[in-house]
Structure 1
């Protein structure tokens, strides 16, 4: 299928994979607690494995060790005092960099961000509750979907061609509009104030920057996808890069200002 000269051949596998991921995601997010923490640990382990194999393809056994260490650190962080959280999450990134011995700065930065992202999602579910996390996820998913369809159908000038050749300004703006529309829905069903609109747009932009950051790593390593685990999407790192960017943005905001819970 083509529309205005643009290929849509990957649409079917993307839709099927998205449906499966969404179903699994809804179940674990709704359940929260231990199940959500386990799911986050598995996701982070896979993402660390993908990052390691991208940066050092010959280090297969080391990549597996890094993945297991990351999952263990994420699960352990739930039970330790907050003062130990960042050092514990930094440990797999530091050990991983020493094992890979390649592209150390990239692995330290991206690996640590991945671990903080995983822990932050678990923390947000436990502290801010289900509705807050659903707002975060729906905003970023809407950004991704609107950006995909908007960019493919409208085309136009590239947003940052040197880093992400396929991302267009039309797709970026469509993502912002979609995020604002999601915020309007949550304004109707929760006690949120109107500040949620511009916060949602900033969250959308942060998720797009997360996508661009991962694209920069893939471009440097000359790979199309982080792995081939997910048909139509590549790997978990490809699928969760936007969620990671958005979640890290909100975690930073939460350290500066009080983030109100969203109550139905």
Structure 2
């Protein structure tokens, strides 16, 4: 997701808002429903993002990418049916990255890293919904969404120095910091609504930054491949990878934290 951007043109706002509203409605409904509904949405989005990563690297060869996406969907669907109880399940995450790396004649390591990271992040989101519950996942998603919105308006309004011009020329420090402030406000709101302590405010800001780094990572991939968007699936937004890159970064960070530490501050 964008944290961005330089001041000036607001022409894309209406299309962005309309498409964003549809995606938000689908996402919230799936999170609220939980169970197989959220899991299958996560599987679909994860598989499409692997396909988008493939076509960005390989160019005009979407068919083989679809086969890899289907393999990703098959592997992650094991979560729906309880297949994660097997130790062999996690080893399957390596299948698509390895196959893709063997087939590709360039950017093999790049595809391997991104395909693996996308799958792990998708798995993490489903894991969070099952084990931590609705409120916890809404908190995580809210941080990413508010970071994006606050960063967009701060960057458009204030402009200023670029955050990382070599990788993402449009992103500004004003947008970046605006995103942190928005995330802190989300943390304060959930602190008031739940039993979480002040640690949730700090964690919200750190997750916001992790999401921004997910956005930067995808921007670096697009810049390296010479493409503007990961695909053209969503009007005004590009592809699913363009919209969910920050959520991937946030999910990977929180999966690492939850794996290494007990997180009582977000045990709502």
Q: Is this a same-fold pair by TM over 0.5?
A: yes
- Once the two structures are superposed, the pairs formed by residues 216-227 of structure 1 within 5 Å of their partners are 216-227=220-231
1:186 positional shift: 0.3
Match of 2:255 among 251, 255, 263: 251
1:136 positional shift: 0.2
TM-score by structure 2 length? 0.94
Higher mean C-alpha displacement, 123-132 vs 89-98: 89-98
Q: Over the residues paired in the alignment, what is the CA RMSD in angstroms?
A: 1.3
* Aligned position for 2:16: 14
1:74 positional shift: 0.7
State the Cα deviation string for residues 52-109 of structure 1 (Å, max 9, x = none).
Answer: 0000013222101011001111112441325334311121111122233331111000
Aligned length: 260
Higher mean C-alpha displacement, 54-63 vs 190-199: 54-63
* Aligned position for 1:44: 46
* Aligned position for 1:97: 101
Q: Distance in 1 between matches of 2:43 and 2:223?
A: 27
Q: Distance in 2 between matches of 1:155 and 1:55?
A: 31
Q: Distance in 1 between matches of 2:211 and 2:36?
A: 26
Give the SS at the match of 2:238: coil
Change (3 A) 1:256 1:153: same
Q: Distance in 2 between matches of 1:159 and 1:174?
A: 12
| Contact 1:164–1:212 (8 Å) recurs in 2 | yes
Match of 2:25 among 23, 26, 40: 23
1:25 positional shift: 0.3
| Contact 2:7–2:155 (8 Å) recurs in 1 | no
Q: Distance in 2 between matches of 1:257 and 1:5?
A: 41
State the Cα deviation string for residues 115-142 of structure 1 (Å, max 9, x = none).
Answer: 0011110011000111110000001100
Consecutive unaligned residues in structure 2, runs of 5 or more = 1-5
Match of 2:203 among 199, 203, 209: 199
* Aligned position for 1:209: 213
Give the SS at the match of 1:7: coil
Higher relative contact order (CA 8 A, sep 6+): 2
Match of 1:60 among 62, 72, 96: 62
Give the SS at the match of 2:84: coil
* Aligned position for 2:3: none
1:5 positional shift: 5.8
Consecutive unaligned residues in structure 1, runs of 5 or more = none
